[in-house]
Structure 1
Amino acid sequence: MKKLYPIEYIPSPENTIFIPESCEVALPLHHVSFGIKKTAAIIKKQKNAKNIISISNDLKSILQLPDDSSNIHLFFDSDTLYLGPLVGIFTCGFHTGKVKPIGERSLIFSKLLSVQKTAGVIAFLFGEQHINWEKETINGLFYEKGQWEVAEIPFPNVIYDRIPNRKSENLPRIQRTKKRLQQEFLIPWYNPGFFNKLDIYERLLQENSISDYLPETHAFTSFSLVERMLSNFGHVYIKPKNGSLGKGIYQLLYDRKEEMYYIRFNDEKGEKRLQKFETLETLMNHTFSKVNMNNFIIQQGIHLIRFEQKPIDFRVHTNKNKNGVWEVTAIAAKIAGSGSVTTHLSKGGTIKAVEELTAISSDTEGMLQKLKNASLKISKALEKQINGIIGEIGFDIGIDRKGRVWLFEANSKPGRSIFKYPSLKKYDVLTRKLSLEHSIYLMEQNIKKLEGSTRGHLL
């Protein structure tokens, strides 16, 4: 059991930290560390019923511990006691105002930071402009008691990447910051980068354990490829390789009785469109004449289970927990809007808990288990194939009319719009908590790695 320890600050004795007598660590320890800052200290054990860590005010100042620090974990290795984890949430798009320092995303981040005490971490928000490289400190944004405050703290133990889009991620200054913090300061960085649909598909094909979940997917090469897949599957999807939020997705269908081709999509104004053509060539030339098809993939269409005549797929969140083990943290059914290409909420989709699907299945528990098993298998397979540290994944998964599970997409930075649905709010808190809790595992592993010892462990 990984314990949480509250912190209190005391006026004396100087340069001293008292840890609970219950901590299974052999003294003496001669140093204490917070973030990447390390200093000599007097470390003693004391009896107290509340298992509180007591830190002298001068030591608090040296370590640059925030005023509202509480509920952290203790680690040790060699002669050093580590307080943490100190987690930096890295993003961009900051504003000058104190009320909404990150614009409309301020609410999302305030909700994420609100679970830090139950997770047992100290977390803050920052961007590349908040870093002081000479002092090795950050002017981090903390959210306490309903408001944003800035405090100077050391470089963190772990960084959680929340860059919002590919355009921002590819900015040279963002890339330089990430590279320097990882390479010069050896800080573990989790959830780096966005997934490319075709790249993910090709990597997962190498994993035999999950190949049955993968619909046939190809880079666009020719009309004949589309024709062949339409003949085999009846309908296909054309998707941007790097798309998100259901944007730029087209569904192509072939009606054998009419011998006509149909295409369904949302136009630039977001209006739903359905068009009919006599030939595939006419359809493709009319729709994609001004589009670079090298940026698209073609994916097998699946005949999904339906609710009230509308196709359903599922959003499944998985998170790595504080023990470094994958967990399924949320599952929601997404029901397509009338005439929509996808089940996205922005395209008229609606959300239901899986337990509410009794109209289409009497065994919703079996459906849940099937989705969980598939998601955990795919998470483990994906982790093996991807460079960098993955802490969470959002999957779009379907079940066809025969009960077979299919993976449509994996998202490295999953959205949270599904949690607006009342019965899913409990999962919202859990996914946020585990997003931060994974840093506990990463800090523990990094201490062992940096010290070159197997003795270090979490108290």
Structure 2
Amino acid sequence: MKKYFPLEILDHSHQKVCIPSQIKSNVKLTKIAFGTHMIETEIEQHNRQSISLSRDIAEKLLLPPIKIPMHLFIANETVIIGPLVGVFTSGFTPFLLRPIGERSLFFAKLLSVKKSVGALPFIFGEQHINWEQGTIHGLFYHLDGWKTYEVPFPNVVYDRLPNRKTERQTSLRLVKERLQSEYMIPWYNPGFFNKLDVNDRLQQNENINTFLPETYAFSSFSDIEQMLSKYGHVFIKPMNGSLGLGIHQILFDKVEGSYFCRYRDLTGQNKLIKFSTLESLMGRIFKGKNLNRMLIQQGIYLLRKDKRPVDFRVHTNKDEKGNWIVTAIAAKLAGAGSVTTHVKSGGVIKTIEEVFPEIEEQKEVKRKLADAAIKLSEALEESMEGIIGEIGFDLGIDRNGAVWLFEANSKPGRSIFSNPQLREYDLLTRKLSLSFAIYLTERAISQPEEIFK
């Protein structure tokens, strides 16, 4: 059972905890917990719609002086207030004005929704943990500024490590393993997806493999030739790439018998170069590159707007009930001569309404994309390890109206929200990122076998 109540601190009382009388328990309540800290005390019920704690109780629990409503959970003889949500990341600076460098604004916006959600989030890294005391010197964003407070280990951890290189660090992996195994703390959104691994896992699901372009690990030039003959163009992508970096499109002109390669060079320029043979193209463009880390993917003839290819970013989130919902859909128009629709390659973010003027077409596009995204989210959750709470999909619709999956991102970027008309969805995705922590906290209390299976 969980409820959402204002929290008040009583300055002139001692060893006092009061909860609303509507909260029912089959046993006498004798303990109160915040995060992983728990103390024994008498718990009374009152007719007010609030949780009241005397200051000495709040101090023993290491409750920071931040006034927000919180949820109330009952487990056996214990009242649990929270959830306390630890957002785990790296890249900290010594400056409290911008404690996580350029990402400080993103984290400030994420934490600023705490009052409307009823969860208390903070940022931390491995250096902030005191294992002996079971506490963390967490960074809280409150009243438009960053503050540091010592708090207990959290009820749940939201993984926001910035990249694969950081994620592979042994010390950070040990933090995750220890908090999960020793303290039974649910950890959500772990890991970055590998494109080929995602494709291979989803291929096993007959309900969604129609969304998957033909995709293989690179093995030989003949594979590329066969796919070019079949599809007219293919993409060569890094298996662990992001932000559209390292993507090359290879096209074959059957009339001329020529090969073309479209890509973005190291200076950020979009290039289109013609070759007489595939061997000469590969020898020049991919010289010195490790092709064993690349995959080959079927080219799709996408819908176009103003003669530019269009694909779509669709965000899905788990809500406070643990259900997948679509939280944002945006169209992305490729930049002139660009191999991708990424903003850094000249791409432009548009709403569905801006791209499709007809209302019925808008509805149909949204329906198709939402249906595909929910099915893909459920399939990924079923086939991947760990607890997934959000996914960003790059989807395409071809000229025949079929939906295709190009990429799934476990830590989706936020570039689509630069469009002012999509700002409300930015807020929704941030809220749900923390609301899911409420669901996980409740499940960890009531059905831990589901969370830690």
TM-score category, normalised to shorter length = over 0.9
SS in 2 for 1:208: coil
State the TM-score, normalizing by the size of structure 1: 0.96
Q: Does 1:7 align with 2:32?
A: no
Task: Choose which of 175, 178, 182 in structure 1 pairs with 2:176.
Answer: 178
User: Alignment partner of 1:265: what SS?
Assistant: strand
- Note if contact 2:238-2:246 (Cα within 8 Å) is conserved in structure 1: yes
1:108 match: 106
Residue 26 of structure 1 and its aligned partner are, at CA, apart by 4.5
Structure-2 residue corresponding to 1:344: 342
SS at match of 2:4: coil
Counterpart for residue 166 of structure 2: 168
For this pair of structures, how many residues does the alignment match?
450
What is the 5 A alignment of 1:341-420? 341-359=339-357, 362-420=360-418
2:227 maps to a residue whose letter is M
Residue ranges of structure 1 left out of the alignment (5+ in a row): 454-459
Detail structure 1 runs of 4+ shifted over 4 Å in the superposition: 359-362
CA distance in 2, matches of 1:430, 1:3: 21
Structure-to-structure mapping, 1:410-449, within 5 angstroms: 410-449=408-447
Percent identity over the alignment? Answer: 52
**What do residues 32-89 of structure 1 show as CA deviations (whole Å, max 9, x unaligned)?**
11101111021111112xx111111010001111101421111111111111110000
Give the structure 1 partner of residue 327 of structure 2: 329
Q: Which one of 259, 278, 283 corresponds to residue 285 of structure 1?
A: 283
Letter of the structure 2 residue corresponding to residue 337 of structure 1: G
1:382 is paired with a residue whose SS is: helix
Residue identity opposite 1:383 in structure 2: E
Which residue identity is paired with 2:31?
Answer: H
- Work out the CA distance in 2 between the residues paired with 1:241 and 1:360: 38
Give the TM-score normalised by structure 2.
Answer: 0.97
Deviation string for 1:121-147 (max 9, x for gaps)? 010000000000000000000001111
Displacement after TM superposition at 1:246 (Å): 0.4
Letter in 2 for 1:167: K
Contact 1:355 1:365 in 2 (8 A): no
Offset at 1:243?
0.2
Question: Which residue pairs with 2:33 in the alignment?
Answer: 33
Opposite residue 108 of structure 2, the aligned amino acid is S
Instruction: Provide the C-alpha distance between the structure 2 equivalents of 1:393 and 1:28, rounded to a whole number of angstroms.
Output: 42
What is the alpha-carbon distance in structure 1 between the residues aligned to residue 415 and residue 270 of structure 2? 21
TM superposition shift of 1:27:
5.6
Following TM superposition, by how much is the alpha carbon of 1:25 offset from its aligned partner in structure 2, in angstroms? 3.5
What CA distance in whole angstroms lies between the structure 2 residues aligned with 1:2 and 1:156?
17
**Aligned residue for 1:255?**
253
Q: Which amino acid aligns with 1:67?
A: P
Deviation, 1:156, is: 0.2
Q: 1: distance between equivalents of 2:160 and 2:253?
A: 44
Q: Which residue of 2 is the match for residue 457 of structure 1? A: none
Contact 2:27-2:76 within 8 A present in 1 as well: no
Structure number with higher relative contact order (C-alpha < 8 Å, ≥ 6 residues apart): 1
**Distance in 2, Cα, partners of 1:69 & 1:436:** 17
Q: Deviations over 1:155-179 (max 9, x none)?
A: 0000000000011111111111111
| Residue pair 1:263, 1:275 contacting (<8 A) in 2 also | yes
Instruction: Determine if contact 2:68/2:114 at 8 Å carries over to the other structure.
Output: no
Judge conservation of contact 2:2–2:442 (CA < 8 Å) in 1: no
Distance change >3 Å, CA 361–CA 55, structure 1 → 2: closer
Q: Partners in 1 of 2:357 and 2:273 — Cα distance?
A: 32
Which residue of 1 is the match for residue 216 of structure 2? 218
Q: Does the 8 Å contact 1:72/1:83 carry over to 2?
A: yes
Q: Confirm or deny: 8 A CA contact 1:230 1:253 kept in the other structure.
A: yes
Distance (Å, rounded) in 2 between the aligned partners of 1:2 and 1:423: 34
Selected match of 2:132 from 131, 134, 137: 134
Do structure 1's residue 296 and structure 2's residue 291 form an aligned pair? no
- Letter of the structure 1 residue corresponding to residue 111 of structure 2: L
The residue number in structure 1 matching 2:92 is 94
Cα deviations across residues 327-352 of structure 1 (Å, max 9, x unaligned)? 10000000000100000011000011
How many angstroms apart in 2 are the aligned matches of 1:26 and 1:9?
27
Helix, strand or coil at the partner of 2:400? coil
CA distance in 1 between partners of 2:408 and 2:356 (Å): 27
Residues 351 and 422 in structure 2, CA contact (< 8 A), matched pair in contact too:
yes
For structure 2, the 5+ residue unaligned runs are none
